[in-house]
A and B are shown apart, each in its own frame.
Chain A
């Protein structure tokens, strides 16, 4: 059996890459995808723990299902908002969306 730590490492790496993406990317769409990467890491974490530690009740697996569903909803919602921004300003570059500050 593959050790649990391997999966945990995978999820941590996914989470970190996602977070890095949020910091490094300038396109709203790419930031959104990075957030999805972070959430994927979370889902893997939940499934891992559910499988290795809580095999009886698998509530972690259910949690992962919810995470995926909610993430999908979030993508839909965020894309709608990005679309509005794009219509208003002809750009999805977050550096140019900075009229609100200070």
Chain B
């Protein structure tokens, strides 16, 4: 089949099999939930079904390692896509396995909860895989809309609705900004295809400089919102705090990583010829993001808000890699995203397990955790230290390579600032650790244990944090293979 311009189109639907599996699973989950009483299904069937679908999708996506094909010039299946397919499905699996107890207690619509996680995973994957602005836009909205609803799913918690309202309305504004930018970009380049945009921009924009720059500003702002970059981040802490904990974990992991994946795909591909026009913009929001995220985190009392600001700071580091976009910094970024996902999920899964037991989100509630549950305290400590960049943990090595790449790319001042902010961040991570180790438990000082799935997820993530900190080369090799397809 050919399109109107004579390009041959390739409609091999099997290339989309992983996402088709996930989408069908989502449908099944909703159906099973709706007819649960009639079919006499147990509650546990929904997470199991979701995990089975995700595992199948993960395995299937491994079929296209080292292939370089596209679906109808809309979606690319290459190593970059495969990297994020695996990363996002794995993240969804971890979140679902680690949170089913929480979901049973605090979520109103269980079927929708799992279905939305599955659907947003599809959106996240296509954000990394798109090769056309239209596909990318639809993918962004699939992810965003799923999350708008998911944020509002907490039962009996008015904060949940408020968070969803803020997220939805402001997200709509950001989408409009992004779209306006994309329309200008389309006007300048005359196409929505990545390859043709890159060609058109490289050939020179003629008298269209003004629309191009305005378009870039709007695109950076719109994507900046999705990535929680300052000053477009304002919704983030509120959305994190109001959302159910597993959704907070999921947003901080998949949503952030997906936006960064899209950022990298765009700014190393179609927008690369316009590098001088956007480089300083990204550097600017990177600095603001690192600075504000880490500074305001110092003043937080709620663990979810603390982690929200911490994730804003982390996004700042990642934006630094976009600024210095190069082969080295691209691989460094993917490595850092991988390490950050593992570490951040370790912290969140531990916090979920903690919340299941105590029902508190206050940082002061962690007092004496080292006595009542030393294992959990250890997981949180390792995760926090890793986020703060302590050696022998994932965060140190990935950050070290990321910062070195930035310094090497000519942004030594940016890397220096990142190091300073990284040091500041240790302070608020240590605040949590201090609560756990230096204080006596308030009230109930009995020892308690996690559920088996709680042990499973935290142990796997803890091991990942340590292993990546000691020997990250395998992941780096994968990241490197994934980014070889960029910059062409």
Contact = CB atoms under 8 A, between A and B. Distances in A.
Nearest to B5: A57
Interface in A49-93: 49, 53-54, 56-57, 59-60, 62-63, 66-67, 70, 73-74, 77-78, 81-82, 84-85, 88-89
A97 to B, nearest CB: 5
Nearest to B179: A42
B168 A81 contact: yes
B412 interface: no
Contacts of B19: none
B159 A38 contact: no
Task: Please report whether the interface of chain A is mostly helix, strand, loop or mixed according to DSSP.
Answer: helix
B179 A53 contact: no
A100 B190 contact: no
Contact of B169 (A11, A32, A73, A102): A32
A100 B192 contact: no
A77 B148 contact: yes
Given A54-B191, A70-B138, A77 B161 contact: no
B180 A97 contact: no
Given A73-B145, A100-B159, A38 B180 contact: yes
B183 A45 contact: yes
B82 to A, nearest CB: 26
Interface in B276-326: 299
A88 to B, nearest CB: 5
Contact of A59 (B148, B166, B175, B191): B191
Contact of A89 (B138, B158, B173, B187): B158
Interface in B132-165: 133-134, 137-138, 141, 145, 148-149, 152, 158-159, 161-165
Interface of A: 11, 15, 18-19, 22, 28, 31-32, 35, 38-39, 41-42, 45-46, 48-49, 53-54, 56-57, 59-60, 62-63, 66-67, 70, 73-74, 77-78, 81-82, 84-85, 88-89, 94, 97-102
